[in-house]
Structure 1
Amino acid sequence: MNSIGSRKAVDPVRPPRHPLLRSAALLVSAIVLLPIIALAFVALSGSGEDWPHLVQNVLPGSIRSTLLLMSLVAVMTAVVGVASAWAVVAYDFPFRKTLSWMLVLPFAVPPYLAAYAYGEFLHFHGPLQGMVRALFGFQTIRDYWFPDIRTTQGTAFVLAAVLYPYVYMTTRVVFLMQGRNIADVARTLGASPRRVFWRVLLPVARPAIVAGLALVLMETINDVGAAEYFGVRTLTVAVYTTWLNRNSLEGGAQIALIMLLLVFVLLVAEQWVRRRQRYHAGRSTQMKVHPPRVRIVGFKRWAMSLTLLLPVLCGFGVPLLIFGQYASRRMDQFFAPALGKALFNSLTTATLTALLTVTVALLLLNVVRLCRGRGMIAVVRLASIGYALPGGILGLGLLFSLARFDNTIDAFFRANFGFSTGLLLTGSAAAVVLACTIRFVALAEGSIRSGMEKLPAGLDDAARSLGRTPVRSALSVLLPLLRPAILTAAVLVFVDTVKELSATILLRPFGFNTLATHVYENASRGVPQDGAAAALTIILTAMVPVLLLSGALMRDADAHL
């Protein structure tokens, strides 16, 4: 008896299993995977009669255009993002601090808005060609050569102009960290700043660069507005044209699966590189002293400032100029009922999405916090892959899933109660909210997790040792401390939902316009100026999280100077 009693006394207390949290996490993961499963089912259930046409006439050109576009965007964003990050970290020149946060501003401009703006800016009657004709006395387009923006190369330039901040932000953080340890060692050995960059910092920062490029390439695959407007037939555009023009759901689903394969390759490559980040993880004590920046003198200091201003002007200045001019000439657009309805729909959809997404993110983080098992961590990671799904693919798969769900419910009520329920979710605003929640839950989860990692490691255990239950501990201790991170996550999801176009086009109800679809419809009719007020509203709204990100970057830099 004594031996049994002593064995019981030393046996560790088995932690609670939290079945409700586990079930909720499994349900979220199942909902995220539902569009992918639906796409595969539709793609494999067709007769296959469209497949020979797709293989012969659609896929070769679409795959070639998509890969070329991705390659060009990757090169451009890598050059601009890495060079800008290194310049603001390593050198001292006029307006360095101002430019370091202004370089994030193009992040506020959705790619489709940038495409519409450049289509007008570089048009024959646009300001740039007008200036060329005025300076050199040209009369017609035959008198001079001017680059055509409506090409794969032009589309790549426009996408790179607004997507390079992904690389800039991730790389700049690494450069700030590495400047305090291994770069100092290289400088003490007599290496110049240029040699330190090429031989030391660039190889070490490669994981962060690749992580930023992975986000850039996923956004490039997701784009439909810019590619369609410029006439570039990417895989995303092929999904829409195959489905809508050829009336082939199976063909569109088959192309979407090919896109998923590309996304999967990107995710595997990005995760493989992340595994090597441990080699350059610096301690906080190594970040307290910043090495002296190289002071640029003479004309070169102003040339550096102007060079770094150029990406800001290309990615943010041109769209703001074009849509600002159009909006100033047609102030009545701001009071039009159509814009008011689109704004109301955008705000309502974005608010509901932000609330639902933050709630789901907190649920997933609590599953990891309380369950602490590899299985649950894998489930949470699975629930966060929605951000890697292009909006068009997500919308198409969700459309199939919701249609099947609505038809099943309708058949049940017809058979048992004698009336039809109709379409409950398909073609409703709820479908748009669900799609955006699936896509942006990883964004919210990452933002809140970053805030949680800054809290003391034993805070939760200390609260529970004082008699707090896990629920009371979360409500009374963790949530108040995580309020800034939760607010940041909600703002980011809110604005990304306002900017979302691909999934909204597919899932919105008839006559339901958001700001993004309002601009898209006018641009599709060849009159993007009619959507100038909506475009300007999107840009100004999106500046909120951009300014938050810029402020965080500046605080991070100032804290370590």
Structure 2
Amino acid sequence: MKLNLISNATLYKLLPWAVTCLLISPIIALLINSFSSDPQGSFQHLFDTVLLTYSLNTLLLILGVMSLSFIFAMPVAWFVACCEFPSRTILQWALMLPLAIPPYIVAIVYTDLLDFSGPLQRLLRGVMGWQRAGDYYFPEIRTLFGAILILSLALYPYLYLLLRGAFLGQSGSLFQAARSLGASPLRAFYRVSLPLSRSAIAVGLSLIAMESLGDFATVNYFAVSTLTTAVYDTWLELGSLTTAAKISSLMLLALVILISLENYSRRKQKVYQRGGATHTQLRFVLCGWQKWGALTFSWILLVAAFILPLFTLCYYALSYFSASLTAALWQYTLNSVWLAIIVAGLALLIALTVNFYQRLCPGLFARTTIRLSSLGYAVPGTVVAIGVLIPFTELDLGVNQLLLENGFSGIGLFFSGSLFILVVAYLVRFSAIAVGSIDSSLAQVSPSLDLASRSLGQNAFQTIRRVNFPLIKKGMLTAIILVFIEAMKELPTALLLRPFNFETLATYVYQFVSDEMIEYAALPALLIVLMGLIPFIIVNRLLEKST
């Protein structure tokens, strides 16, 4: 039964579409601009010289990060979901913590530790008596493989979270049936548990691929040229917005192909499971070498991805505390916090608008607004930045010309040169997180509650305020916190669109890193981690209480 609770509410029906058009307009403008002529010939020059190399590096980066993330995430997800061993309860939530550290901060730490002047190579030279780099071989961290390793350590939790949930939701009876038919535990895992988790694997790897494609700071710091760095360079160094739009369109095409292949591979997959004992009730008790193997692998991964970077940042932050604690740091921290709060609040309003539109006026149009408003999260930050820049630059030019023609003074770059464009870009990128959180929360609220409220004389908006809002409070708080975390960490969009004399913690850290002043970057980097870690723990506690 459809919940057509609002009649003649034209404004409410138009508002979600207006919001959706705002969120997808940068992508549309980007595609239109990519077909325009390039008077400087920059794109043709790139096409003839380095574009193939950039594309190959991007492809290798994505495939490498996907593969290594799977190697990291799959075993630990199985261990904590289906096995019983010491410290499992700690590891099941601690293995998610690397999400709180941006990949470029992990890259800073490992570069400092593993470079020629780092403590590890200094120790080796002291012990072995070596004097020069030519006296011994040590793998170089600033390579494509180094970028793959760092991104995998930072991004594997996406797949871990989905796989752990998939394993916990599976019927343990199926696994036990395979064992009773003579399959070894390893064979039963590959023949039963892993195929049943295929959807979670596909979604997790897709998220990791999107994040890898959109990463700028890590690959740029490691001097690995990808399509993302090409977008950044063509805009800031060559000043060619058209060329940046053309490269961004190639990245969008790659994303469309990636998502289409993932959906096509699962087009005929249907998995139905009978109720019964779950893996939670049938956990294996690991003993001997199996217990120590699970402990060793899980804790080494956690140390490498989270504990070591965090402690290294703490050490440098304390060592250079007085030099790093400046008025500028407080100002940039304040900039980051209030910008993230504004974006999180607006993203929540957008999510509530489109989700309640779908709930009150269900149908194809409502579902379309949900999907379109979530497109931006799949688009890399550099691409979003270029897409947002195009329409608002044209808007500034048009408004200024109109004012001058009518005898008024121009307003300058009111839209494209202010914080307005940065907020819009963040909303395009992160509104999908809030939309998804509210959507999942509303899905658990029975429509019969809305009908009961209406039968008691409450109108639609009273029903939303008195019935729906109290039931989705956790989802609303989760949406705000998740968008806040992502906005605090975002770097590529801020680098391209921030106004003059405006810095965030992310861009502040990047300046120090670019100047090889890693010690001075430690304190602001640690603040970014803490700003993400504390809300992340709050979200995790909320999710635990809801289960």
**Local SS of the residue matching 2:172:** coil
Shift in CA distance, 107/196, structure 1 to aligned 2, threshold 3 Å = same
| Deviation (angstroms), 1:317 | 2.1
Give the number of equivalent residue pairs. Answer: 544
Alignment of 1:48-447 (within 5 A): 49-272=41-264, 278-280=270-272, 286=276, 290-333=280-323, 335-447=325-437
The Cα shift of 1:157 comes to 0.3
| Cα distance change of structure 1 residues 389 and 116 upon mapping to structure 2, 3 Å threshold | same
Distance 1:475 1:273 in 2: 42
Paired residue type of 2:243: G
* Structure 2 Cα separation of the partners of residues 114 and 17 of structure 1: 54
Pair 453,13 (structure 1): closer, same or farther in 2 beyond 3 Å: closer
Distance 1:286 1:448, change over 3 A: farther
**Contact 1:504/1:517 (8 A) holds in 2:** yes
Query: Are 2:516 and 1:526 equivalent residues in the alignment?
Result: yes
* 1:333–1:395 CA distance, 2 compared to 1 (3 A): farther
What is the rounded CA distance, in whole Å, between the counterparts of 1:306 and 1:346 in structure 2? 38
Gaps of 5+ in 2: none
Distance 1:550 1:128 in 2: 35
User: TM-score, normalized by length of structure 2?
Assistant: 0.94
Matched, 1:32 2:23: yes
Which residue of 37, 45, 50 maps to 1:46?
A: 37
CA contact (8 A) 2:4 2:361 kept: no
1:22 aligns with 2:42: no
How far apart, in 2, do the equivalents of 1:551 and 1:184 lie?
Answer: 32
Residues 4, 360 of structure 2: 8 Å contact kept: no
Q: Match for 1:400: what amino acid? A: I
Report deviation, 1:46: 2.4
| Structure-2 change in CA distance of 1:555 and 1:138 (3 Å) | farther
CA-CA distance at 1:58 after TM superposition: 2.3
Distance in 2 of aligned mates of 1:39 and 1:271: 25
- Separation in 1 of the partners of 2:322 and 2:378? 39
SS at match of 2:511: helix
Change (3 A) 1:161 1:289: closer
| 1:509 partner SS | coil
Checking the alignment, whether the CA contact within 8 Å between 1:93 and 1:301 is kept in structure 2 is: yes
Shift of 1:354: 0.6
Q: How much does 1:340 deviate? A: 0.7
| Partner Cα distance (2:262, 2:405) in 1 | 50
Structure 1 residues 458 and 127, CA, compared in 2 at 3 Å: closer, same or farther? Answer: farther
Residues 287 and 234 (structure 1), Cα distance of their counterparts in 2 relative to 1, 3 Å cut: farther
* Displacement of 1:414: 1.8
Aligned equivalents of 1:245 and 1:545: distance in 2?
Answer: 37
* Aligned residue identity for 2:335: N
One-letter code aligned to 2:13: R
Tell me which amino acid in the other structure corresponds to 1:114: V
1:243 Cα offset (Å): 2.1
> By how many angstroms is 1:322 displaced?
2.5
Shift of 1:512: 0.4
- Tell me the distance in 1 between the aligned counterparts of 2:134 and 2:279: 59
CA offset at residue 15 of structure 1? 6.5
Alignment-derived partner of residue 484 in structure 1: 474
Q: Give the secondary-structure state (helix, strand or coil) at the position aligned to 1:148.
A: coil
- Please say which of residues 189-198 and 509-518 is displaced more in the overlay: 189-198
Shift of 1:150: 0.9
Question: Residue 444 and residue 389 in structure 1: after superposition, are their counterparts in 2 closer, same or farther (change >3 A)?
Answer: same
1:219 alignment partner AA: E
What amino acid is aligned across from residue 146 of structure 1 in structure 2?
A: F
Mapped contact 2:335–2:504 kept (Cα < 8 A): yes
8 Å CA contact 1:101–1:551 kept in 2: the answer is no
Residue pair 2:385, 2:425 contacting (<8 A) in 1 also: yes
Alpha-carbon distance between aligned partners in 1 of 2:6 and 2:469, rounded to the nearest angstrom: 22
Contact 1:333 1:339 in 2 (8 A): no
| Residues 93 and 108 of structure 1, relative CA distance in 2, 3 Å threshold | same
In the alignment, is the contact (CA less than 8 A) between 1:118 and 1:318 conserved in 2? no
**8 Å contact kept, 1:179–1:291:** no
Deviates more, 1:57-66 or 1:527-536: 527-536
Distance in 2 between residues matched to 1:343 and 1:102, nearest whole Å: 26
Residue 7 of structure 1: aligned partner: none
Q: Say whether the 8 Å CA contact 1:333–1:533 is kept in structure 2.
A: no
Contact persistence 2:171–2:276 (CA under 8 A): no
Is the 2:82–2:279 contact (alpha carbons within 8 Å) kept by the matching residues of 1?
Answer: no
Matches of 1:289 and 1:123, distance apart in 2: 44
Amino acid at match of 2:536: V
CA contact (8 A) 1:73 1:156 kept: yes
Shift in Å, 1:417: 4.3
Q: Deviations over 1:397-455 (max 9, x none)?
A: 11121111112122222222422122212121222111111111110111122222222
Go from structure 1 to structure 2 and tell me whether the alpha carbon gap of 1:52 and 1:334 turns closer, same or farther (over 3 Å shift): closer
TM-score normalized with structure 1 length? 0.92
Retained in 2: the 8 A contact 1:179–1:290?
no
Question: Bigger shift: 270-279 or 82-91?
Answer: 270-279
Query: Once the two structures are aligned, what percentage of the paired residues are identical?
Result: 36
Q: Is it true that 1:474 corresponds to 2:459 in the alignment?
A: no
Q: Deviations over 1:141-192 (max 9, x none)?
A: 2222111111111100000000000000001101011143532433443433
